[in-house]
Amino acid sequence: MIDDISVYSINKALEARRLAQKKDKTFVLTNGCFDILHAGHVVSLKHAAALGDFLWVGMNSDTSVKNNKGNNRPIISETHRAYLLSSLQFVSGVFIFNNSNLANEIKILKPDIYAKAEDYSIDSINSEEREALEKTKAKIKFVPILEGVSTTSIINKIRNDL
């Protein structure tokens, strides 16, 4: 099961989105790489989940992470990252995407709310994502982060301690 990539498809997210609409429930969407899942990720995800009834996470594929972060990333494989995220009780589901941004998936899912960490602003959100969010009329909410905790800082600490 842990390596069954079909579990983490946009089609599953779309089914969940349709069910949320039928039940008049709020569908929240967020995204990220989540390479080396840490407390900062969990804090932001927990706040995102509190914004609605269902929290779905779009997670960058291994190829997408490599393109965005460089050849030494990701540290953790996409299926293992997706498994970890989906194991959090407040995460309703996870899908893996291959693009550098989530614009296409936003257009497909039409979330009620899009959650982004508060170290972003409306001006620093990817412009294609922002345009897709505006077209779908999704509310954009910024959620708290845990200062001083990042995947990059964890990687650097490990390198320096070796």
Tell me the per-residue pLDDT of 38-66, one tens digit each, with 9 for 90 and over.
999 999 999 999 999 999 999 999 999 99
Report the C-alpha gap between 94 and 81 in whole angstroms.
Answer: 10
Tell me the per-residue pLDDT of 84-99, one tens digit each, with 9 for 90 and over.
999 999 999 999 999 9
- Lateral strand order in the sheet of 139-143: 93-97, 54-60, 27-32, 113-117, 139-143
Q: How many domains does the chain have?
A: 1
What is the predicted pLDDT for the residue at 155?
87
Q: Which of the 8 DSSP states describes residue 83?
A: H
What is the predicted pLDDT for the residue at 7?
81
Range of the domain at 146: 5-161
Report the C-alpha gap between 153 and 63 in whole angstroms.
Answer: 22
Report the C-alpha gap between 12 and 32 in whole angstroms.
Answer: 18
Report the C-alpha gap between 90 and 87 in whole angstroms.
Answer: 9
Tell me the per-residue pLDDT of 129-161, one tens digit each, with 9 for 90 and over.
999 999 999 999 999 999 989 888 898 888 888
DSSP β-bridge partners for residue 50: none
Report the C-alpha gap between 55 and 92 in whole angstroms.
Answer: 5
CATH number at residue 13: 3.40.50.620
Report the C-alpha gap between 110 and 132 in whole angstroms.
Answer: 9
Tell me the per-residue pLDDT of 104-130, one tens digit each, with 9 for 90 and over.
999 999 999 999 999 999 999 999 999
Residue 96: name the closest of 141, 130, 126, 62 by CA.
62
Q: Which of the 8 DSSP states describes residue 138?
A: P
Residue 72 reports pLDDT greater than 70 = yes
pTM, two decimal places: 0.94
**pLDDT band, very low/low/confident/very high, at 1 (cuts 50, 70, 90):** low
93 Cβ neighbours under 8 A, 6+ residues apart? 12, 13, 16, 54, 56, 57, 86
